[in-house]
Every structure is written in structure tokens, then in C-alpha cells.
């Protein structure tokens, strides 16, 4: 290990300068997109933010307690349907449904966590996978069609503005301008930003707190944590519920855009797998991982979406992908998922930390701050065979 | 709602002139929206046929005209489009389809007709610039695709495929006041003129299709018939199921069994058909999609063979029959199945002499796309209707504007090149928001892979 | 009665495909303790390969055998090149890798044979016609006890039964089978007594993938088509069967596979109001959840010793 070129003291002036610089750049980008970006860019950014929110909440569960969920599309769907149902059946304002969706998904998540107390590791992945498969079917179930609209889905689930004067006032103040046609896109963008910020702050608050440390204790060693006085069942249940509740928020946003159908991609298992890919590529167990992951994911998806026609593929990539009859993004993500497990199990965020670690050393503050990490399941003994 | 009455009168006059200029047999219609009748003088909605005698010489007083005051940019909606008109479409290009054959050829046919129109100068000096975006048949991606096209300056959308996909962009396009013409889906939602004046559908509404079948069944079984429904568990299947349930009393149908299949389910509907067969209904109506049509017909054939004496009359939705490959895949099992169509089957050798079909086939052949003509025909046809609408708008006094295009689309009488004899596309403002409401019930002949007409074209639902 | 008998055979023939997938899951689990989420997709890849052989004019009977060989290679290479090195890191990494394989194979199928990659919805993907292994004309049925049973259904059930017997012969009467059982019982000790565990594991993955290939071909034959979403729900049912039978019991997997097919078919048929076709998959969910909660070893598996 070579000695880093620089070293920065955490909490020191250099560290703060870097932080402020990052914050300024971030704020600039977030402001630039809705004000100067094209409509399609705003759309793309909103989608990326949606994925970001879902991946962040999945990361809380996986990065902290080491529980895998392939059923987060169901929680996402719970959010979408809570908003849709409250808006269409009871005429609520969509924004007011956010806390409701949070609570509903929390309860659902906490219920799911009950079996999760007994079922671990890859078996939990299996159970939640099936949950993800069942969810859209449940929505279509004729017995609850009166509520969910069945397989036809629900329409007009979004904001109902006055047709002529579509403004959205907050205490008499109208920051959005006229929300009509394509102009409504920045409005959704800002809701997405708000949701991601809320989720990020919850995650961050948890990581840095005492709760966060007990969670990591659970992840790393169940028994030891219990010995140290952590209430396993309660803590796990809370985190599962919280993760589900946060995942519901970006789901609400999809409903706010106007229609909800049980077959839309993010509400099915494909959604769960997408969230997982975003999280793992960005970096499981890092606060910034899912954020980076969502941006990279959306960027690649967008850039390669028309690579079906060989002529559309830019120069160097053409020989690699021209044979493919579909867009290459699926393959790229699958391959990077596998490759990352070999070279950088902590994803892009982990890779970045390692590379930057060669150049700059961050001297941590002495206080025992918690870190996220890769879940380490206890390796289960293969069961002894019959006979 | 405040509106400028002068503008309204101008639009009114323009519309009247336009009807006169066309010189067709369009009926007088009144604008049914309350606010417009307030401004206008005499015309009311009810008895519109009263003064039709006059319209040979005197221009009709009113025809439906869109109100551009609600637009974000009314001037843009009324701005003259000169030189080139940009027409956009969103199709699933990446082979995403419910059929043996992907929907991608729809795009080929669509683009081919746009080229054809340019080459033949169908719009005179106006050049068509056609652009297509991919939404992978996912409603989540359609808004993005439409945004990209709007950013590129598209004036008109045509033939966006899929009901949820069209619903997802309906609000945006209606507020931007960009015509969303000829949606390639038959959802009844496209008839909501009051709320979504800028959105029109091209396919026969699914509930009307259901009515056509119900009427045909009632003719065949005057005493009433027992019916089993088999449908795909999606918004598409649900529209038919709801329609048949509603029509059951009126047409003497007794629905004895309802079975569904998941679009995602790879397995054939064995247990569903077993259940239907056990009830031995006189009529089986199938509304599956894609390969589901094939497995449905296969299973039904097995069930019929196993239950000697049970020979139900079988209907399938015309979406199944839209691609002749689907029925061909079912082979002999599809023999004698009833469905419907309003267009000619371009693959039928008997139609090869029809000039429009021959021209289409030759054109596609020249492009090297001869093998996918059946699906491409849908795109070609939609493009043809779109261009015809724009042509009619061009002949209107105000020239081609986005508003005049949607006005043309809503006051339109046209016989498409592929139309079956007797089929006329017609729309009359709010009174008749759907272009296509006539259907011919046809029977499939597996040996020749062609359809035989049963009875006459049912035009009762075309007002 | 006839209806019941017919539903019974329908359920069993559907269940036979689940049994094959479950068998693959169990064989891999016994050897390595990994749950292979890509089992269904490995089978689908081989099924597409069989389709391709058919396109090249090879008769379906021979094509199936060749497809199984391709499947075996695919499984073996996957184990050696990807799973083995990664399993030294962490079970989490293995899980992610199997999900990655799931995505990769599904994408590859689409990239080579066309169709939109959407693992959850077969709706979109391009459907390709697929021949059946057995006579499947409408008139190909026999009448048993008054019920008309399709020859195809009987053929599929018989094929799976035959394969199970063959597998048990391999497990119990060959050196490979003995080695596999030894590795399953205790990998470390097996290594100590000179069994080449690496080869055994490689063979397990290969075998599982080959069995899966057969399952895919059978299922595609029943469905008359192959598409990208074909094996997804089948994997769910197969996993439910493996859970029910016990993850380490091949016999249990087969019995449970048939049972799951039977249960969901009966439930959908006799409780159309409550289960119907919409909630059929709910049956699989309840089975997995219930078994893992109350009897994690399944019906026929050995119970694991929980470490304190």
C-alpha cells in the first residue's frame, strides 16, 4: 500500500471546502435541469430520481441489516396505489397522500418483516421475490377490484389543477408558474427532488445515530448485538418498515403523473431487480452509492436505447454491439453486476473510495462513527444429506 | 369560462366555409358545449337533420371546431404550418409486441407511407418530416418519447400504439394543443371530446366491436345463447368483458363462465378451457392477445375434440386477427373462427388486384419488407388517414394549422384505401367522436388463410 | 368425476415442468448451498438453443439431447468460471451473481433471437414457435375412466417420471452419484477422503442446467412457443416446489413439483371466485412462506441445525 499523496483531516478546513464545493455544484445542477434543461432531460432526471429514492431505501435494509429484498417493487406499488386510491376515490390532494402512503407502506413492511425475523439470507430473497410477483396479481384480484380498479388500473390519479389557471400555491405563494402541458415536468422534478432529499436525510440520520450503530451490530453479528442489548425483532421490524415506507414515496410520484396500472414495469419484479441493480452498481452499503448508481443507470439506459440499429451505435462500440437485436443496456448492467462482485463488491462508490484513498487520506474524527458495509451473512452449513 | 366571441365567430365561419368547400354530405351539427351555444344563434344539438336540405348550396352553419383559448399557446396552435410538417409517432420498436411478429413493422409501414406521400406530392408543397420514437410498449416511457418529439418540434402525432401509452400522454398533448391523431387502440376513452378534444382513435372502439359480436350472436341464436368469456387479464381484456356483461340482457346472452389468463403466463390455458368445456356453452368468445390467441385456439380445438357434440361458435377479438401470422400459427385449429375487420386483408390473394393494395405491396417490396406486410399495413393505413386529414385541413381557408388539423379530424368523412366495401370513416364533432365504427364479421378459412365475409358490413353503430 | 380426473392430469403435466426446475435448484443447493436464481433463465437459454437447432433442420428428438448437452456445458462453465471464485467472497456476492446471470442470460436470448428484454412480462417479448415433443393435435387424446386425457400430458408426465428414476439410479448406483452424495453430506470430509469436490460441483451445476433445459423444452412444447418471459413464473413455481420438498431432497422436489402443479390447478379450477387465474401465483407464495416459517427443511428435507 503506497502512502497517499495528501491527507485531509475530517472536519478540518480543507474537508469543509471540498464539501461546500460539492454542495454548490450539486445545487447548480439541480437548479439547472428544471430551468434550462430540455423537457426530455427533465423527464430523464425525474426517472433517475425515482430510481434513486427506491434504491436508497433498499440500501437501508441491505446495507444496514443485511436483509435482501426482491419485493421492493411491491412497496413501491403500495405507494403508487395509495396515492391513486386516495386521489380518485376520496378526492385527496396528491401531496397529502405522501404521509398516508408512508404509513401504509410502513405497516405493510413491518408485517413482511415478521417472517423476515425467522427467514434469513437467500431464503428471504426468495420470499420477497414471490411477494413482488404476487403484488400486481393481488391488485388485479377481482375481490378488490372495487378499490384498485383491477387490471384496468386507475386514471386521473394525479394533480387536479383548475383547467384554465393551473397553478399550485403554497400558502398563497406560487413558485411553479403555470403548470400546464410540458411545463408541469419541472413540478414533478421538484417533487422527486423533495422525496429523494427526505429519504436521504432519513438514511443519513439513521446511519450516524446510535440506532445506526446497533443496526450494524445486527448485520455483523446477530447474537452479539442481542447480547449488547439490542432488541433484534423490534429494530429489524422498524428498519424493514422504514425501508418499505421510504420506497413507497417515489411510487407515489409515479401515480401523481396521472395513471397507474398494475403491469407497469416498476411495480413488478422487474422493478425490484432494477432497484437492486442500481443499488449494487452504485455501491451497496454506501449513502451515496444508490445516488451515483441511479445516475449511471439512467444515463446508460438513455444513451444506448436506440442502439438497435447498428448505424446508431457510435464508432468504437459498433463492433461490440451491432450483432445484438436488442438495446445493450440490459447486458451491460448484468455484466457489470457480475464483474463488480469480482473487483469491487462495494460498487462504484466503493471503487471511488479505494482509488481516491490512494491519493488522499481522510483522517477520521476519533468518534466511532458508523459505516455502512457489505452484508456478511453467516455462511450456512450445507445441510447434511439424507441417509 | 371567458372567451372571445369574435374569435369564436371567426372559427365558426371558417368551419362553415370548410364544410361547404368539401361539398360532401356532412350533416349539420351544432357545437354541443354549452359555452359555445351561448354565443351562437339558433343551432341546438337535438334536431340536426332538419335543415340538411340546405347544405348543397348554403354552407352549413356550424361544424365542430376546437377551442384554442385553453391552449398554453393559442397562437402556436393557430399558426400556419408551411414548408414542412413534422409528424411524430411513438411505437414499440424493439420487438416488443404481443404477437408472433413484432410490432416493429407497423413503423415500417407508417414511415413508408409518409415517404410515399412526399414522393407523390399528396400534400402539395408541404413536405412531411416523419419521426418515430421508441417507448418499448411501456407507458412509463411514452411521455419521455413524446417529450423528445415535442422538443424536436413535432406538429402532429399519429398512431401512438397502446391504450395506457396514449393515456399517459393525453393530458400533455391536450394542453400543448398538439393533435394526437389516430391512436392505434380501440379504447372507448378516445371519445371524450369535451375533455380531450385533441385526441382521436383510429381503431373501432372495443366496446363497439363487442356490440357487433353480440348482435351477430343474437341473429344466430334468436332464442338467446349461453356464452363463455375467455380474456386476458389486462385493461384490454377487461373492456370487452365489461361490455359483454352490459350487453348480455339486451342481446339475450347468458354468460355461463368467465375465465382469464395472465399475459405473463407462458403456460397454455388448459384449466381455463377445461372449465369452459365443462359448461358446454353455445358460444365462446376469446379476447386473448398475441401468442395467447394461438394457445387459446389450440386448447379450444383439443377440448372440442374431446367433447364430442360440443361445437361452440367461436369469436376472437380482431386484435388476434390483426396479424395473419397468429391465425396461421394456430393452423387448422383456427378454422371457422369468427372475428371482424373493417379493412381488407392485404395478404389475401383476392385483394391483390385492388389498386391500393397492389400499390402498397409493390412499395413495401421495393423496400425489401415484403415479408412483414400484414403488420406494416396497419402503419401504412394509419399514416394514410393522417395524411388525408392534413390534406383536408390544407383545403380549409385557414390552411394547415394544428387547430385546423384537429378540426378536420373531427369533421371527417373518408374512405380509406384498404377499407372493405361499405366501410366509411366518419366523425362528426362531439356527436360522433370515433372515425371507425363499422365492422364486417368475417370467418377464417385455415386452408387458404383468408377471411370470408359473413353477412353485411355492420354500420349501425356508425352515426 | 371426469372433470376432476382431467384437472388432475392437467395439474400433473404442468407440475412436471415445475418438478424439473425444482430438481435443478435442489441439485445445485445440495452441492454448494447456493440458491440459483438463474435456474429458469439457464433453462430458457438452452431452450432457445434447441429452437435454433430445429431451425437448422435437426429433428426435435436429437435437438433436445444436443440442447441438454449445451445446457450441461453452460452450467459447468458457470460454476467453474463464475460461481466458484465468487463463493469464496460471500454468500451475498453469490446471490448478486445469480441475479446478474439471470439478467445476462435473458438479455442474451433477446439479443440473439430478438425480443424486448423484460424479465417479468412475456407480453412484450417476441414469440417464436416451438415444436412439441409429443403428438399434440386436438385429436391426440385417450379416454381413461370417461375422461379424455391428452397424449401430450401423459407423455410429459411419463418423461419426468423416467428422468427421476434415471437420476436416482445415478445418485445411488454410480461413483459420481456417491461422490455427489458425499459432497452434499459434508464437503470438507469428502475432500479429505480424496473426492475431487470441484469436479463434483461442476457436474452438479451441469446436470442441473441440463435437466432445466429439458424442462424448458417440455414447457415450450406445451406452450407451442418460446419467449423471453417463458421461464419466469415457472421458476417461481419451481422454487416453491423446491422449498416444499426440502432444498436438499431431489425426491421431495419431484413430488412437490407435481403437488404444486396440482394444488394451483385445483385451486384455480374449484375456487374461481377466490383464487382463479389471477391469484394462482399466490398459492406459490403461501407455500414458500408457510414452509419456510414453520418447517424450513420442507416436507422431505433434513432439518438444519441452527447455530446459536
What confidence tens digit (pLDDT) does each residue in B226-248 have? 999 999 988 889 999 999 999 99
CA atoms of C47 and C71, how far apart (whole Å)? 9
Tell whether the model's pLDDT for residue B30 goes beyond 70: no
Cβ proximity of B426 and B26 under 8 Å: no
Q: Which residues contact B125 (CB under 8 A, 6 or more apart)?
A: B83
Residue B164: name the closest of A262, A140, A183, A146 by CA. A262
- Cα of C98 to nearest chain B Cα, Å: 22
Identify the burial level of B387 via C-beta atoms within 10 angstroms of its C-beta, where 0-12 means exposed, 13-18 middle and 19 or more buried. Answer: buried
Q: Is C168 on the interface with A (CB under 8 A)?
A: no
- Which among C14, C129, C276 has the least Cβ separation from residue B267? C14
Radius of gyration of chain B (CA): 23
Neighbouring residues of C56: CB distance < 8 A, sequence distance ≥ 6 = none
Chain B residues lying within 8 Å of C145, measured CB to CB = none
As a whole number of angstroms, the distance between CA A278 and CA A193 comes to: 17
* C258 Cα to chain B: minimum distance (Å): 15
Is residue C253 predicted with pLDDT exceeding 70? yes
Is the separation of the CB atoms in B89 and B132 below 8 Å? yes
- Is the separation of the CB atoms in B36 and B66 below 8 Å? no
The confidence score (pLDDT) of residue B5 equals: 46
pLDDT band per the 50, 70, 90 thresholds, residue B463: low
Across all residues in chain C, what is the average pLDDT? 85
Question: What is residue B284's DSSP assignment?
Answer: E
Q: Verify whether the Cβ–Cβ distance A39 to B239 is below 8 Å.
A: no
Partner residue opposite B266 with nearest CB, options C7, C138, C233: C233
pLDDT at B50: 43
Q: Of A255-269, A296-310, B180-194, C122-136, which range is least confident? A: C122-136
Report the run of H or E that residue A134 belongs to, with start and end: helix A121-140
Q: Name the phi and psi angles at B339, rounded to 5.
A: -150, -160
Across C126-141, average pLDDT: 77
Whether C154 has its CB under 8 Å from any CB of chain B: the answer is no
Q: CA B249, CA B137: separation in Å to the nearest integer?
A: 36
At a CB cut-off of 8 Å and minimum separation 6, what does C185 contact?
A: A384, A385
pLDDT at residue B13 greater than cutoff 60: no
User: What is this model's ipTM?
Assistant: 0.89
Q: Would the pLDDT of B47 be above 70?
A: no
List phi, psi (to 5°) of B30: -100, 155
Cα angle for residues B254, B256, B259 (degrees, 5° grid): 130
Q: What pLDDT is attached to residue C126? A: 63
**Nearest residue to A10 via CA among A19, A1, A2:** A19
Mean pLDDT confidence for C125-147 = 77
Q: Are C232 and B271 within 8 A, CB to CB?
A: no
Strand partners, B156: B87
In terms of Cβ atoms closer than 10 Å to its own Cβ (0-12, 13-18, 19+), residue B309 is: exposed
Cα(A317)–Cα(A325) distance, integer angstroms: 15
Please compute the mean of the pLDDT values over residues C90-100 and round it to a whole number: 90
Most confident of A354-363, B367-376, B443-452: B443-452
**Shortest CA distance to C240 belongs to which of B98, B397, A126?**
A126
Within 10 Å of residue B35's Cβ, how many Cβ atoms? 12
Cell representation of residue B266: 407462458
Q: Phi/psi class of residue A156: alpha, beta or left (left: φ > 0; alpha: ψ in -120 to 50)? A: left
Other Cβ atoms closer than 10 A to A377: 17
pLDDT tens for the 387 residues of chain A, in order: 456 777 777 777 888 888 899 999 999 999 999 888 888 899 899 999 999 999 999 999 988 788 889 999 999 999 999 999 999 999 888 999 999 999 999 999 999 888 888 887 788 889 999 999 999 999 988 888 889 988 888 988 888 776 666 777 777 777 777 777 788 888 899 999 999 999 999 998 888 887 777 777 777 777 777 777 777 788 888 889 999 999 999 999 999 988 898 888 889 888 999 999 999 999 888 888 999 999 999 999 888 877 777 777 777 777 777 777 777 888 899 999 999 999 888 889 888 888 887 877 777 655 444 455 555 554 444 444 333
- Per residue in C116-131, is it b (16+ CB within 10 Å) or e — as a string? bbbbbbbbbbbbbebe
Residue B54's pLDDT is what?
A: 40
**Per-residue model confidence as pLDDT tens digits over C36-64:** 999 999 999 999 999 999 889 888 889 99
Distance CA C201, CA C16 (A): 25
Query: In this model, does residue C266 exceed pLDDT 60?
Result: yes
Tell me the pLDDT band of B388, cut-offs 50, 70 and 90. very high
pLDDT of residue C307 exceeding 90? no
* Structural element, H or E, at residue B49: none
Query: Is the CB of B171 inside 8 Å of chain A's CB atoms?
Result: yes
The whole-angstrom separation of Cα A179 and Cα A182 is 8
Instruction: Band the pLDDT of B300: cuts 50, 70, 90.
Output: very high
Q: What pLDDT shows up at residue B6?
A: 44
For residues C176, C178, C181 and C186, what is the CA-based torsion angle, rounded to 10 degrees?
-100
Range B419-442 burial, b when 16+ CB lie within 10 A, else e = bbeebbbbbbbbbbbbbbbbbbbb
Give contacts of A325 with chain B, Cβ < 8 Å: 95
CB contact under 8 A, C224 and B294: yes
DSSP annotation string for A275-343: HHHHHHHH-TT-SSHHHHHHHHHHHHHHHHTTTTSGGGS-GGGHHHHTT-SS-THHHHHHHHHHHHHHH
- Chain B CB within 8 Å of residue C217 CB: no
Question: How many whole angstroms separate alpha carbon B383 and alpha carbon B404?
Answer: 18
Q: Cα B33–B34–B39 angle (5° rounding)? A: 105
Contact C34 A122 (CB under 8 A): yes
Q: How far, in Å, are A120, A249, B202, C188 from residue A117 at the CA level?
A: 7, 25, 54, 30
Banded pLDDT at B38 (limits 50, 70, 90): very low
C289 and chain A in contact, CB less than 8 A: yes
Averaged over B158-173, what is the pLDDT?
Answer: 90
Residues in chain B closer than 8 A to C126 (CB atoms): 95, 97, 100, 102
Could you write out the DSSP letters of every residue in B377-393?
HHHHHHHHHHHHHHHHH
Q: What are the chain C neighbours of B329 within 8 Å (beta carbons)?
A: 129, 224
> From the CA of A152, how many Å to the nearest CA of chain B?
4
Average pLDDT of C172-180?
Answer: 87
Determine the length of chain B. Answer: 463
The rounded distance, in Å, linking the Cα atoms of A31 and A246 is: 24
Mean pLDDT value of segment B394-400: 90
Q: Is the pLDDT of residue B193 over 60?
A: yes
- C77 part of contact set with chain A, CB < 8 Å: no
Q: Which of B102, B270, B307 sits opposite C126 (nearest CB)?
A: B102
Residues A186 and C88: their CA atoms lie apart, in Å, by: 47
Give the count of beta carbons closer than 10 Å to the beta carbon of residue C41.
28
* Banded pLDDT at C166 (limits 50, 70, 90): very high
> Which residue's entry shows cell 464483474?
A339
- For C265, the closest chain B residue by CA position comes to B271
Best CA proximity match to A150, nearest among A165, A161, A159, A139: A139
Rounded Cα distance between C49 and C39, Å, is: 16
Partner C contacted by B45 (CB < 8 A): no
Q: Partners of B341 in the beta sheet?
A: B440
Grid cell in block for residue C97 = 451473481
Q: Identify the pLDDT of residue A377.
A: 53
- Which of A245, A296, A276, A350 has its CA nearest to residue A48? A296
Pairing of strands B450-453, B338-341: unpaired
User: Are the CB atoms for B106 and B378 separated by under 8 Å?
Assistant: yes
Q: Which residues pair with B232 in a beta bridge?
A: B261
Q: Between these two residues, B41 and B438, which has the higher pLDDT value?
A: B438
pLDDT tens for B91-138 read 877 643 333 345 778 888 999 999 999 999 999 889 999 999 888 777
- Strand B313-316 to B283-287 pairing: parallel
Asked whether A119 and C291 are in contact (CB, 8 A), the reply is: no
3-class secondary-structure state, position C193: coil
Instruction: Tell whether C127 is within 8 A of chain B (Cβ).
Output: yes
| pLDDT average, residue stretch C116-121 | 45
- What is the reported pLDDT for B134? 83
**Contact criterion met (CB below 8 Å) for A195 and A49:** yes
Q: Are C241 and C256 in contact (CB under 8 A)?
A: yes
Helix H or strand E segment including B120 = none
- In angstroms, rounded to a whole number, what is the distance separating the alpha carbons of residues A293 and A311? 28
> What pLDDT score was predicted for residue C96?
92
For residue C271 the three cell numbers come to 375456487
Query: What is the length of chain C?
Result: 308
> Which of B266, B305, B306 shows the shortest C-beta gap to C229?
B266
From chain B residues 68-97, the ones with a CB under 8 A of any chain A CB are 70, 72, 93-95
pLDDT at B55 over 60: no
Bridge partners for B442 per DSSP:
B339, B453
> A366 phi and psi, to 5 degrees?
-65, -25
Which of C282, C262, C242, C281 has the alpha carbon at shortest distance from C14? C262
Amino acid at each position: 500500500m503506497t502512502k497517499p499523496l495528501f491527507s485531509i483531516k475530517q472536519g478540518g478546513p480543507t474537508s469543509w471546502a471540498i464539501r461546500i464545493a460539492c454542495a454548490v455544484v450539486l445545487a447548480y445542477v439541480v437548479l439547472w435541469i428544471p430551468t434550462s434543461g430540455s423537457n426530455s432531460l427533465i423527464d430523464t432526471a425525474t426517472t433517475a430520481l425515482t430510481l434513486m429514492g427506491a434504491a436508497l431505501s433498499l440500501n437501508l435494509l441491505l446495507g444496514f441489516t443485511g436483509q435482501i429484498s426482491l419485493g421492493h417493487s411491491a412497496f413501491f406499488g403500495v405507494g403508487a396505489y395509495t396515492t391513486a386510491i386516495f386521489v380518485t376515490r376520496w378526492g385527496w390532494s396528491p401531496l397529502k397522500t405522501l404521509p398516508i402512503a408512508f404509513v401504509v407502506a410502513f405497516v405493510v413492511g413491518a408485517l413482511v418483516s415478521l417472517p423476515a425475523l425467522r427467514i434469513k439470507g437467500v431464503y428471504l430473497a426468495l420470499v420477497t421475490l414471490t411477494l413482488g410477483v404476487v403484488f400486481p396479481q393481488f391488485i388485479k384480484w377481482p375481490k378488490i377490484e372495487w378499490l384498485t380498479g383491477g387490471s384496468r388500473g386507475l386514471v386521473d390519479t394525479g394533480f387536479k389543477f383548475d383547467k384554465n389557471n393551473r397553478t399550485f400555491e403554497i400558502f398563497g405563494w406560487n413558485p411553479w408558474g403555470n403548470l400546464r402541458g410540458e411545463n408541469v415536468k419541472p413540478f414533478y422534478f421538484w417533487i422527486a427532488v423533495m422525496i429523494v432529499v427526505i429519504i436521504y436525510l432519513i438514511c443519513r440520520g439513521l446511519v450516524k445515530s446510535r440506532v445506526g450503530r446497533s443496526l450494524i451490530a445486527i448485520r455483523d453479528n446477530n447474537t452479539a448485538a442481542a447480547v449488547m442489548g439490542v432488541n433484534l425483532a423490534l429494530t429489524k421490524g422498524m428498519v424493514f418498515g422504514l425501508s418499505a415506507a421510504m420506497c413507497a414515496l417515489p411510487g407515489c410520484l409515479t401515480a401523481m403523473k396521472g395513471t397507474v396500472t398494475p403491469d407497469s414495469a416498476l411495480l413488478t419484479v422487474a422493478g425490484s431487480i432494477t432497484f437492486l441493480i442500481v443499488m449494487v452498481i452504485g455501491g451497496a452499503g454506501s449513502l451515496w452509492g444508490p445516488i451515483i448508481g441511479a445516475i449511471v443507470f439512467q444515463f446508460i439506459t438513455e444513451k444506448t436505447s436506440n442502439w438497435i440499429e447498428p448505424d446508431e451505435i457510435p464508432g468504437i462500440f459498433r463492433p461490440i454491439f451491432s450483432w445484438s437485436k436488442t438495446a445493450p443496456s440490459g447486458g451491460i448492467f448484468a455484466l457489470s453486476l457480475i464483474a463488480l462482485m469480482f473487483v469491487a463488491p462495494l460498487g462504484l462508490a466503493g471503487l471511488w473510495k479505494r482509488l481516491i484513498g490512494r491519493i488522499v487520506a481522510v483522517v477520521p474524527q476519533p468518534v466511532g462513527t458508523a459505516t455502512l458495509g457489505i452484508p456478511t451473512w453467516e455462511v450456512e452449513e450445507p445441510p447434511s444429506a439424507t441417509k | 369560462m371567458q372567451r372571445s366571441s369574435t374569435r369564436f365567430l371567426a372559427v365558426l365561419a371558417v368551419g362553415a366555409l370548410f364544410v361547404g368547400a368539401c361539398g360532401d354530405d356532412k350533416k349539420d351539427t351544432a357545437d354541443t358545449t354549452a359555452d359555445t351555444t351561448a354565443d351562437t344563434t339558433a343551432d341546438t344539438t337535438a334536431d340536426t337533420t332538419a335543415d340538411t336540405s340546405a347544405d348543397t348550396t348554403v354552407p352549413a352553419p356550424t361544424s365542430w371546431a376546437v377551442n384554442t383559448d385553453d391552449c398554453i399557446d393559442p397562437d402556436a396552435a393557430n399558426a400556419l404550418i408551411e414548408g414542412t410538417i413534422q409528424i411524430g409517432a411513438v411505437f414499440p420498436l424493439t420487438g416488443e409486441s404481443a404477437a408472433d411478429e413484432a410490432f416493429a413493422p407497423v413503423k415500417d409501414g407508417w414511415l413508408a407511407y409518409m415517404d410515399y406521400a412526399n414522393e407523390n406530392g399528396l400534400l402539395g408543397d408541404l413536405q412531411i418530416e416523419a419521426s418515430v420514437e421508441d417507448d418499448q410498449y411501456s407507458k412509463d416511457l411514452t411521455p419521455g418519447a413524446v417529450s423528445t418529439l415535442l422538443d424536436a418540434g413535432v406538429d402532429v402525432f399519429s398512431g401512438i400504439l397502446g391504450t395506457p401509452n396514449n393515456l399517459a400522454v393525453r393530458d400533455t398533448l391536450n394542453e400543448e394543443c398538439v393533435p394526437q391523431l389516430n391512436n392505434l387502440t380501440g379504447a372507448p376513452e378516445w371519445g371524450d371530446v369535451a375533455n380531450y378534444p385533441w385526441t382521436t382513435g383510429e381503431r373501432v372502439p372495443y366496446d363497439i366491436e363487442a356490440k357487433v359480436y353480440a348482435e351477430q350472436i343474437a341473429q344466430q341464436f334468436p332464442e338467446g345463447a349461453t356464452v363463455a368469456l375467455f380474456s386476458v387479464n389486462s385493461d384490454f381484456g377487461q373492456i370487452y368483458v365489461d361490455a359483454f356483461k352490459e350487453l348480455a340482457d339486451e342481446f339475450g346472452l347468458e354468460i355461463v363462465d368467465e375465465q382469464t389468463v395472465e399475459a405473463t403466463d407462458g403456460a397454455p390455458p388448459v384449466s381455463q378451457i377445461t372449465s369452459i368445456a365443462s359448461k358446454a356453452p353455445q358460444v365462446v368468445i376469446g379476447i386473448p392477445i398475441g401468442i395467447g390467441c394461438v394457445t387459446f385456439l389450440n386448447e379450444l380445438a383439443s377440448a372440442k375434440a374431446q367433447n364430442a357434440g360440443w361445437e361452440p361458435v367461436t369469436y376472437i377479438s380482431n386484435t388476434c386477427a390483426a396479424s395473419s401470422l397468429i391465425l396461421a400459427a394456430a393452423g387448422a385449429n383456427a378454422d371457422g373462427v369468427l372475428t371482424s375487420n373493417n379493412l381488407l386483408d392485404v395478404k389475401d390473394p383476392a385483394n391483390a388486384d385492388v389498386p391500393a393494395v397492389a400499390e402498397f405491396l409493390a412499395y413495401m417490396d421495393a423496400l425489401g419488407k415484403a415479408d412483414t406486410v400484414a403488420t406494416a399495413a396497419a402503419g401504412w393505413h394509419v399514416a394514410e388517414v393522417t395524411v388525408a386529414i392534413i390534406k383536408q385541413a390544407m383545403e380549409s381557408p385557414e390552411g394547415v394549422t394544428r387547430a385546423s388539423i384537429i378540426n378536420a379530424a373531427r369533421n371527417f368523412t373518408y374512405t380509406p384505401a384498404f377499407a372493405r366495401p361499405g366501410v366509411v370513416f366518419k366523425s362528426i364533432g362531439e356527436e360522433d367522436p370515433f372515425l371507425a365504427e363499422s365492422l364486417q364479421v368475417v370467418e377464417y378459412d385455415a386452408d387458404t388463410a383468408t377471411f370470408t365475409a359473413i353477412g353485411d358490413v355492420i354500420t349501425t353503430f356508425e352515426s | 368425476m371426469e372433470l376432476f380426473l382431467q384437472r388432475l392430469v392437467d395439474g400433473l403435466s404442468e407440475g412436471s415442468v415445475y418438478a424439473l426446475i425444482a430438481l435443478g435448484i435442489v441439485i445445485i443447493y445440495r452441492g454448494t448451498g447456493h440458491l440459483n436464481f438463474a435456474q429458469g433463465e439457464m433453462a430458457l437459454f438452452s431452450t432457445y438453443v434447441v429452437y435454433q437447432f430445429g431451425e437448422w433442420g435437426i429433428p426435435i428428438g436429437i435437438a433436445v439431447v444436443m440442447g441438454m448437452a449445451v445446457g450441461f456445458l453452460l452450467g459447468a462453465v458457470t460454476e467453474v468460471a463464475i460461481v466458484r471464485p465468487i463463493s469464496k467472497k460471500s454468500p451475498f456476492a453469490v446471490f448478486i451473481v445469480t441475479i446478474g446471470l439471470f439478467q445476462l442470460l435473458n438479455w442474451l436470448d433477446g439479443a440473439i433471437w430478438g425480443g424486448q428484454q423484460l424479465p417479468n412480462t412475456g407480453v412484450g417479448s417476441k414469440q417464436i414457435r416451438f415444436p412439441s415433443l409429443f403428438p399434440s393435435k386436438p385429436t391426440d387424446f385417450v379416454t381413461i375412466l370417461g375422461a379424455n386425457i391428452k397424449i401430450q400430458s401423459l407423455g410429459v408426465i411419463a418423461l419426468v417420471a423416467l428422468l427421476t428414476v434415471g437420476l436416482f439410479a445415478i445418485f445411488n448406483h454410480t461413483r459420481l452419484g456417491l461422490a455427489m452424495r458425499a459432497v452434499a453430506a459434508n464437503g470438507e470430509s469428502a475432500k479429505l477422503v480424496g473426492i475431487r469436490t470441484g469436479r463434483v460441483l461442476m457436474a452438479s451445476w451441469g446436470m442441473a442446467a441440463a435437466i432445466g433445459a429439458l424442462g424448458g423444452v417440455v414447457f415450450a412444447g406445451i406452450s407451442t412457443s418460446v419467449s423471453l418471459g417463458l421461464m419466469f413464473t415457472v421458476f417461481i413455481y419451481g422454487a416453491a416446489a423446491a422449498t416444499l420438498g426440502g432444498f436438499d431432497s431431489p425426491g421431495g422436489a419431484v413430488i412437490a413439483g407435481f403437488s404444486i402443479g396440482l394444488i394451483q390447478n385445483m385451486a384455480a379450477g374449484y375456487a374461481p371466485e377466490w383464487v382463479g387465474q389471477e391469484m394462482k401465483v399466490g398459492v406459490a407464495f403461501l407455500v414458500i412462506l408457510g414452509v419456510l416459517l414453520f418447517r424450513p427443511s420442507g416436507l422431505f428435507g433434513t432439518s438444519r441445525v441452527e447455530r446459536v
